[in-house]
Amino acid sequence: MKRNAIRLLIADDDEKTRDLLFNQLNSKDFKLDIHETAESALQALNDNAKEYDVILLDLKMPGMSGLDCLRAIKSNEKLRHLPVILQTYDNDTTVISEALHAGAYYFLEKTTEKKLLKAVVQSAMECKLRFQEIEQERQCLKSGLRFVEQARFRIRTLSEMNMLTGLLATAYPDPDRMTIGIHELLTNAIEHGNLGITYDGKSKLIMEDKWNSEIDFRLSLKENKNKTVEIELVQAPDKITLTITDQGDGFDCENYLEIDPCRLFDPHGRGIAVAKSMSFDDLVYVGKGNQVIGTVFL
């Protein structure tokens, strides 16, 4: 199926960087709107939010910084669904933690190679489309699980995951906060747990634009056809607990609960840290790592 051009809004105060980004992305696959300041980019967004799919910001700019612009975007109901990529030379964990809390998900090193840049932008676009689907599901369900005390679910595919994410989010007082965390944990359970895609393997698939097709292929394999992810939601007066269990071999979760500066500029690998920092008040992996318990205190 033919893809539409990704409408990309860029803000960077450095002329050489702007020129480099233009040269790397100037093709039929992208429609570019490039600004010298975060203020100008934010004004363009406020004037016509529907014109853009993905935002690419320099983290440090004079005046309004990329981080300040990110906060303004995520605080605006019309804009908060747009995925934001931050470009930086800085891998300081404090700064990155602030950016994660503010709503960033993708990070790129300044003057990164063309192939990685395109892969991350395309990944951000796919993320936007997935969350639009989840949001539509959530709006249909509204308060679908608000009055449920305990519920169990079983899913197998990414499309089932999108539908369930929308439903599960309705159980929480702040569904917007929860959507991304639930989505990331369920995605990990399917792709890394049940389907056995390794960290390096996923990096390669994203770079070659083969991630979705590989998921479909592995789901069709005989050894994976009966593998499911089990989900249990329990609501108590003081907390909501979500338990997700896959049928994989587990993994060393300690390396992924916080952002590792060495992996910061990889095209993926931040999902668990994002879930912990943005969505859940407590996140614990159990046993060999194929079960995770996320808690939100009320």
CB 288 within 8 A of CB 198: no
Q: pLDDT band at 269, cuts 50/70/90?
A: low
Mean pLDDT of 23-34: 94
Angle, CA of 210, 275 and 52, to the nearest 5°: 60
Instruction: State residue 262's pLDDT score.
Output: 63
pLDDT by residue (tens digit) across 111-141?
Answer: 778 888 998 898 889 888 888 888 887 777 7
**Domains of the chain, each with CATH number or no CATH:** 6-123 (3.40.50.2300), 143-297 (3.30.565.10)
- Pick the most confident of 76-90, 157-171, 201-215, 245-259: 157-171
Q: What is the pLDDT of residue 256?
A: 74
Phi and psi at 13, nearest 5°, equal: -80, -10
Work out the burial of residue 231: count CB atoms within 10 Å of its CB; fewer than 13 is exposed, 13-18 middle, 19 or more buried. Answer: buried
Q: What is the pTM of this model?
A: 0.78
**Model confidence at 218: pLDDT above 80:** yes
What is the 3-state secondary structure of 109-139? ECCCCHHHHHHHHHHHHHHHHHHHHHHHHHH
**Model confidence pLDDT, tens digit, residues 149-205:** 999 999 999 999 999 999 999 999 998 889 989 999 999 999 999 999 988 888 888
Average pLDDT over all residues of the chain: 88
Tokens 């407590």 map to which residue?
Answer: 282
